[in-house]
Amino acid sequence: MFKPSWLSAALLLGASYTAVAHAEDWNQVVAAAEKEGSLTLLGPAIQPYRQAIEQFQAAYPKIRLEYTGITSPEFEARIRNERRVNRYLWDLTIQGFSGSAFTQQLPEGWYDPIRALITQPAVLADNNWLGGFAAGFLDKQQAYVYAFQAGKQNNVNIDRSKVSEADLNKLEGLLDPKWKGKIAILDPRTRGSGHLITLLQTTLGSDKARQFLTQQQPVLASSNRQLQDWVAQGAYPITSGLSPSEIATLKDQGLAESVQALQTPPERTAWTPGWGAIALLHQAPHPNAAKVFVNWFLAQPAQADWAARGFVNSRRTDVKPGLAASVLTAEGFEKGLTFNSEANADKALQATKLAQDALQ
């Protein structure tokens, strides 16, 4: 009887010592970050996201947050120009990552591993994340680009007051000749077009994807705003390119009330991190401040604030979804497709090339 009691006491003592040591180590990291005095971050030029990130300043007032809102193309141009003259000004970036991040930026050494910065137990715990903690990495090495957000992409939206479930209930139905000229999509020849062609190419094959573009003659929108106006006006019964949050915004305004996402099985459903991925820039000037921010930002309170402000869904399982229309189940996350990962980067590039060729 004595041995188990002694063993339990030793384990408790060891756990207490580890917790104290960890706390002391973290205090040292924070002190070093405060000595650095600043954190430089390139993030979304979208006000709710910016507001969520800026809460870091209140949590750590001795670390000055220098935030610059930027689009993905602007980010690429800025970092490429700075790298040419060996300038390393930024610690972190939060954005939507596309194929070029994996085919160009990572091979060119734009990033350092962010995995080494994440040390807090509540952040690392698998049960706190959809699919487990490591499932958030979008790069094959599971070290550089971390997605903390995930939601169904809802690639096809249908006005059910005009198109019944019986008339269109699966992806193949988009090829029915009766929908010729009645489908509006974001121009698939440009980046950020919603990945409909990538999804069709991946699930139905390149021939079917090309057939959709050439024979169905989808009407091409040049911007999200134009497509949003068309959906609001009910100009086309079938559309693709607007995010679930954009559709939800229209519904809140009393518009697009009959518009619903096409329901597809998990293996034919795309999910996206949206703007919800973070990476550490190479030679970050404030490495300790970056470490403090990453652990703060991936913890439950900051993720809950991000999801609520942005109407998006954190991958954290202890965070209330910000947008019910794009909630992913565990099965949907595991079996679903994401075209924002290194594993599928080539598919997105191939789909863009297919669209460019087909729509010459």
Burial string for 232-257 (b: 16+ CB within 10 Å, else e) reads eeeebbbbbbbbbbbbbbbeeeeebe
H or E element at residue 67: strand 64-69
Q: Is pLDDT above 60 for 242?
A: yes
Averaged pLDDT for residues 144-168: 96
pLDDT mean across residues, the chain: 92
Cβ within 8 Å of residue 357, ≥6 positions away = none
Residue 4's pLDDT is 40
| Dihedrals phi, psi of 169, to nearest 5 degrees | -135, 10
pLDDT reported for residue 267: 93
What's the confidence (pLDDT) of residue 144? Answer: 98
pLDDT tens-digit map of 24-79: 699 999 999 999 999 999 999 989 999 999 999 999 999 999 999 998 889 999 99
Query: Could you tell me how many residues make up the chain?
Result: 360
Domain 154-268+347-358 has CATH 3.30.1360.120: no
pLDDT, mean of residues 189-201:
85
What is the number of other CB atoms lying within 10 angstroms of the CB of residue 213? 20
- Per CATH, is 2-151+273-328 categorized as 2.60.40.10? no
What mean pLDDT comes out for the span 160-181? 97
Query: Is 146:137 a contact under the CB 8 Å cutoff?
Result: yes
Domain ranges of the chain: 2-151+273-328, 154-268+347-358
Q: Which residue has the tokens 């992409």?
A: 153
pLDDT band, residue 158 (cuts 50/70/90): very high
Beta-bridged to residue 314, according to DSSP, are 149
Residue 158 backbone dihedrals phi, psi, to 5 degrees:
-125, 135
The pLDDT confidence band at residue 100, using thresholds 50, 70 and 90, is confident
pLDDT digits (tens, 9 = 90+) for 246-267: 898 899 999 999 999 999 999 9
Q: Do domains 2-151+273-328 and 154-268+347-358 have the same CATH topology?
A: yes
Share of the chain above pLDDT 90, in %: 83
> Looking at residue 348, what is its pLDDT?
86
